[in-house]
């Protein structure tokens, strides 16, 4: 199982005139990086506690979560299966999954909507199988992500993270609550129709005045981009040496840059941005960077 690992915290001089640090969870592991490692940590512990040796999960054809789960299972002597949304395809991400021994079940989009039913249909009688929701979402993932807060400076004024399911953000807010910090959590949803994020976070934490959700930076929806975002990514990487993905971290950094431009923060604020990894997502959009 995973040992405790603390990722580095380093200055980010990209935002001139402001004190910004980046929490480099992307450096935890090349395949189980960022919030994927945080989310899987206690899921694996649950599998060990309950005697399960087969993780069954869900994701799209370019899912970082699927690769991370496949790698984590291979390293811990577990089996893995993924229900992959959509028609059968081949790509670099799914190749990595198969190399790590993951079995892939391509599933039509309508059937995919009811994940518990899919699990019960194929694995309901398998007492060795453990249901793992898409992205690893759930209380175990929230618990793992909450531990990030103990690795940050206690005087952090503002903490930024991108959000898909909202699980990472929920964990961060629970960590802030447990430590009784004044840190404001800024969440940047990457999905269109992002009004579900706040309720998803608050179901784990309860109402909290320290939560800020910045809508309007999804660039058209999940895995959608624009020429402006692509140019921002290229400029950011070239001027920081830090790779960011087009699905999550780039949209969070773009949002921060826009908010700083409009004077939402003070120069003496200590701002931390969480790099949640996901760099393999670049493989699914390589044609946009030509």
Q: What is the pLDDT of residue 2?
A: 62
> What is the distance between the alpha carbons of residues 197 and 194, in angstroms, rounded to a whole number?
6
Looking at per-residue pLDDT, the higher value among 267 and 5 belongs to 267
Q: What is the pLDDT of residue 38?
A: 95
- Which domains, ranges and CATH numbers included, belong to the chain? 9-30+144-289 (3.40.50.1100), 37-136 (3.40.50.1100)
| Mean pLDDT, rounded, for 40-66 | 96
**59-71 core/surface letters (b: 16 or more CB in 10 A; e: else):** bbbbbbbbbbbbb
Catalytic residues: 63
Q: How far is CA 195 from the centre of its chain?
A: 18
Please provide residue 253's backbone torsions phi and psi, each rounded to the nearest 5 degrees. Answer: -65, -35
pLDDT at 136 over 90: yes
Looking at per-residue pLDDT, the higher value among 184 and 224 belongs to 184
pLDDT at 167 over 80: yes
> What is the distance between the alpha carbons of residues 58 and 160, in angstroms, rounded to a whole number?
27
Q: How does pLDDT run across 3-17, given as a tens digit for each residue?
A: 677 899 999 999 999
Using pLDDT thresholds of 50, 70 and 90, give the confidence band for residue 198.
very high
Look over the chain and give the mean of its residue pLDDT values, rounded to a whole number. 94
pLDDT at 218 over 80: yes
| Mean pLDDT, rounded, for 123-141 | 96
């Amino acid at each position: 199982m995973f040992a405790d690992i603390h990722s580095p915290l380093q200055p980010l001089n990209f935002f001139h005139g402001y004190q910004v640090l980046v929490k480099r969870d992307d450096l935890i592991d090349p395949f189980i990086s960022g919030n994927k490692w945080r989310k899987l940590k206690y899921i694996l512990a649950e599998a060990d506690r309950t005697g399960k040796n087969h993780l069954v999960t869900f994701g799209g054809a370019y899912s970082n979560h699927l690769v991370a789960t496949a790698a984590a299972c291979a390293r811990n002597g577990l089996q893995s299966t993924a229900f992959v949304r959509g028609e059968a395809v081949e790509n670099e991400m799914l190749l990595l999954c198969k190399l790590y021994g993951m079995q892939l079940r391509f599933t039509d989009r309508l059937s995919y909507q009811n994940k518990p039913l899919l699990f019960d249909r194929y694995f309901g009688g398998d007492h060795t199988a453990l249901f793992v929701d898409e992205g690893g979402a759930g209380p175990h993932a929230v618990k793992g992500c909450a531990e990030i807060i103990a690795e940050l400076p206690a005087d952090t004024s503002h903490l930024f993270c991108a959000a898909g399911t909202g699980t990472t953000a929920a964990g961060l807010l629970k960590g802030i609550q447990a430590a009784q910090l004044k840190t404001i959590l800024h969440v940047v949803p990457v999905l269109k129709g992002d009004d579900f994020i706040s309720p998803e976070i608050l179901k784990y934490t309860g109402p909290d005045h320290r939560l800020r959700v910045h809508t309007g930076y999804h660039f058209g929806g999940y895995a959608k981009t624009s020429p402006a975002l692509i140019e921002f990514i290229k400029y950011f990487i070239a001027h920081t040496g830090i790779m960011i993905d087009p699905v999550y971290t780039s949209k969070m950094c773009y949002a921060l840059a826009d908010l700083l431009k409009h004077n939402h923060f003070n120069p003496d604020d200590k701002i931390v941005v969480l790099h949640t990894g996901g760099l393999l997502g670049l493989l699914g959009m390589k044609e946009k960077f030509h």
